Chains A and B, each alone.
Chain A
Amino acid sequence: MIPEIGQFSLVLALCLALVQATLPLAGAATGRADWMALARPAAAGQFVFIVIAFATLEYAFLNDDFSVLFVAQHSNSALPAFYKFTAAWGGHEGSMLFWITVLAIWTLAVAAGSRSQPEEFASRVLGVLGIVSAGIIAFALFTSNPFIRLAPTPADGNDLNPLLQDPGMIIHPPTLYVGYVGMAVPFAFAVAALLTGRLDKNWAKWTRPWTVAAWIFLTCGITLGSWWSYYELGWGGWWFWDPVENSSFMPWLLATALLHSLAVTERRGIFKSWTVLLAIAAFSLSLLGTFLTRSGVLVSVHAFAADPTRGLFILGLLAAYSGGPLLLYAFRARSLEAEGGFKLVSREAFLLANNILLVIAAVTVLFGTLSPLIVDALGYGKISVGPPYFDAMFLLPMLPLAVLLGVGMHSIWRTMSGASLLQRLVWPAGIAAALGVTVPLIFYGHASLLTSVASVVGLWVCAAALLDPLRKWVLREGAPLTRAQIGMCLAHFGVGVFILGATFVSAYTVETEVSARAGEHFQVGGYDFLFRGVKPVESANFSAEEGEFEVRKGGRLVTVLASQQRVYRVQQTPTTEAAIDSRIGRDVFVALSKPVGDNAWAARIQVKPLIRFLWLGPLLMALGGIFTVLDRRYRLAIRESTVPSRSAAAPGST
């Protein structure tokens, strides 16, 4: 009975989504206020029914209702309760329902936050969100219904994939989805603005906080995913250029470009076409990511689905949701006039460079991700594109981007003299160059050209980001920093921290695979590892062999690491549980594998310098985003946005 309530609620939600997708848009086109007024109640009603649907699915999971096929496939009565809860998005059908739930939350937030915007515009935004929602709900109902019953009811469920039985999985997918789906909001704003025919500074100002908010979640989600794969997959890698990772990373690259180009549109009323196209492209790539992960065309951790009807359905949605707005754009493009010009040395020019480089990066990642699929589809055989392609192609636009970032931060709008800019930046550049070259050599005695260049660039970005805060807070000179400026400095400092982390991890990781007998010593990366041997460990849903390593440096005990080789009972799946000792400067990583005969066990031992910076950097970026969203002018924009507010146009503020 309960699952049927869920199903019924989802059907009602679809009906309301269809109302939301049609009447407010028609009302805005014909000027009928009563139709436009339907947008908010429809969104709120949709939200309520979707929450009911999601809650009934959770209810089925928590009560072990294995008569529901999706629950039987992804849960088990022995599964700990909070994994039962998270199993709801641990499979295809549930994760689509989750997608819908997240969109409903965003829509509700937009409905609440857009009250001060012109009614015509707000109802168009909500109308477009309704179209998106209706499409995805239809997709869930017709191809991926999580409420389908199973007869006869099995005695127990098939259990959750053991890799997903991990605390990281509680927060990683929801965060990523909130970011992914959140790209629908700037998309809806862009389409609404195209429909209205007014793409002005106000439009950019309304869009920007939403874009930044979605971007914050996307950033955190990707970071969590990287961290999760590092400790859970047991290989010690942190980024694999796996198609699923790429499909969340491409929207991130475009979202990053978008929030920079929105800054230009908001301030100067230029780059409008570009901004609109980025907003459409970022959401299209989110949908493409959904297609890649949900259609079963890929070989990967998250690709649990294998059903062509689903793939075709999403491709259809993708074509409609990107093709429609592009057509609309083609009609409107001529009316999008720039409200001003700019010179070669100006903040606009640097932000343009930022956008071009980010888009190039996204395109090359897209090319590497899709080409195996295209080659296969054309019947030319199966190929794969190795991570070195992605590494090289990503570095190529990113290094110049990072160099320009440091300069661009200190440039001003419209025009400025190159000389004054250089004068300001001589010191940070000099310090970065000196430290970047010498520090790796002092600590490690060797550094490749790329390592030196990358550390100089990383330090340069950090130094450039710290310049203004230092001058303000230490030397007490210059204008007070707005929250947006603090946010920008923090986020860019995070970029520098990330670059340093990536550089040091790539250049100075020491890793080895050993066959270890109890009592044997291994010297890795300046540490001594003593293998103490293996003992059995039992838990509720798995049994394991646990191998202990004593880690010493210079004779002093640093830590004892216990890594497990687990076998999960229901699916009989073996997994490796790595043991990691983390310090800010380095991680020591041990992963026990299988016995290899002669009482020896295979194991991985790795020492990774500065790996925490890889995740600290993006967290700082996200924190910077939070500061930006909290900037005064957006709160003013929400309160009195119909009055074009004159925010303090201090030079150097974004």
Chain B
Amino acid sequence: MLLIGLVLAGVAVAATFAIRAFQENLTYFITPSQVAAGQAPTRSFRLGGLVLDDSLKREPGSLTVHFVVSDLANSVPVQYTGVLPDLFKEGKGAVVRGRMGEGGEFRAEEVIAKHDENYEPPEVTDALAKAKKRTAVAE
């Protein structure tokens, strides 16, 4: 009995910790249209879409870059300081993690790497599809 009690207590403690750690580390995926609609959470979230052509601007000689992530209905300007993943490219999909900063610019803490040139993150595909549907309804 003692053994079973201990085991149950251990499982309960583990479960409590698991749920807390889970909630703290849960990040939502938000599309640019959701940001435009004011649905962006204040905590850290993931933003995904296409990196618009010719939107990538570097602060020369530094690691800070600015670019625009779009689902073709709405766009969000993004700022990031750091080394970009090898496959980051204008006109391709990207997912960034961070939070909204002042002036409506998204401050990315991480640009999530892709591993394959032709591969589009499912979140991006999803965001583009959603935006398309919404514009179709609006028209």
Contacts and interface: CB of A to CB of B under 8 A. Distances in A.
B35 to A, nearest CB: 14
A224 B25 CA distance: 28
A385 B22 contact: yes
Nearest to B122: A299
A356 B83 contact: no
A632 B95 CA distance: 55
Interface in A348-391: 349, 352, 356, 360, 364, 367-368, 371, 381-389
A304 B118 CA distance: 11
B2 interface: yes
B26 interface: yes
Contacts, number: 110
Interface stretch (B11-19, B71-79, B99-107, B131-139): B11-19
A513 B82 contact: yes
A356 B4 CA distance: 11
Contacts of A387: 25
Interface in B83-99: 83-84, 86-87
A594 interface: yes
A163 B61 contact: no
Contacts of A388: 21, 24-25
Contacts of B17: 392-393, 396
Contacts of B86: 234, 565, 573-576, 593
A513 B110 CA distance: 13
Contacts of A304: 116
A385 B28 CA distance: 9
A389 B126 contact: no
B63 interface: yes
A300 interface: yes
A574 B117 CA distance: 9
Contacts of B28: 381-383
B61 A598 contact: yes
Contacts of A591: 83
A221 B107 CA distance: 38
B22 A383 contact: no
The dominant DSSP class at the B interface is: mixed
A397 interface: yes
Contacts of B18: 364, 367, 393
A387 B34 CA distance: 25
A389 to B, nearest CB: 4
A53 B2 CA distance: 57
B29 A383 contact: yes
B2 A386 contact: no
Contact of A596 (B3, B10, B26, B62): B62
Contacts of B7: 356
B58 A389 contact: no
A364 B17 CA distance: 10
Contact of A386 (B14, B27, B87, B121): B27
Contact of A597 (B26, B61, B84, B122): B61
B58 A596 contact: yes
Interface string A506-522: 00000001110100000
A392 B67 CA distance: 34
A573 to B, nearest CB: 5
B22 A384 contact: no
Interface string A583-618: 000000001011011111011100000000000000
B5 interface: no
Nearest to A359: B11
A397 B123 CA distance: 33
Contact of A381 (B25, B29, B113): B29
Contacts of A603: 83
Interface of B: 2-3, 7, 10-11, 14, 17-18, 21-22, 24-29, 46, 58, 60-63, 82-84, 86-87, 113, 115-117, 121-123, 126
18 contacts: A233-B113, A300-B115, A301-B115, A349-B3, A364-B18, A368-B22, A388-B25, A389-B24, A392-B21, A393-B21, A396-B17, A593-B84, A593-B86, A597-B58, A598-B61, A600-B60, A602-B84, A603-B83
Given A233-B113, A360-B14, A388-B25, 17 more contacts: A299-B123, A300-B115, A349-B3, A360-B10, A367-B18, A382-B28, A382-B46, A383-B27, A385-B26, A386-B27, A393-B18, A396-B17, A513-B82, A515-B62, A517-B61, A572-B117, A604-B83
